[in-house]
Amino acid sequence: MSSIPENLRYTESHEWVLLEGDIATVGITHHAQDALGDIVHVELPAIGKAVKKGAGAAEVESVKAVSDIYAPVTGTVVDVNGALDGNESVVNQDPHGAGWLFKVKVADPAEVATLLDAAAYAATLH
């Protein structure tokens, strides 16, 4: 069973969110990185890009496939994880920590409440 941190919120498309004030840090779940296999490239959004909940915001490329990463909330990208450039394997090694992808200034905090908690996300995996 993969680890599903209780302090995060989740999407059914396997993104996680950590909300701190009005900033949402976004990454992919342990389950997603495990299913993808070794991550070889990450295409991050531009800082300042407007993203819409449910729309593609980034891409991860693994040895198996290229997958869209969907914005879990609507807002504006305020930071990206530059440490992944040339070191994409961090997403596999620490998907819920150092392997975060981007941060969004949340336009509507109520959207975060619509995301899954750890138990609800775990139920989608069975």
In this prediction, residue 21 carries a pLDDT of: 95
List domains and CATH numbers for the chain: 9-124 (2.40.50.100)
pTM metric for this prediction: 0.96
Cβ neighbours, 10 Å, residue 118: 16
Count of H helices and E strands in the chain? Answer: 4, 9
Please report the pLDDT score of residue 3 as a whole number: 85
Averaged pLDDT, groups of 10, the chain, 126 residues long: 86 97 97 96 98 97 95 98 96 97 96 96 93
| pLDDT in the model for residue 59 | 97
Structural contact between residues 100 and 91, judged by C-beta atoms closer than 8 angstroms = no
Could you tell me the CA-to-CA distances from 42 to 14, 32, 80, 125 in Å, in that order?
Answer: 16, 14, 11, 24
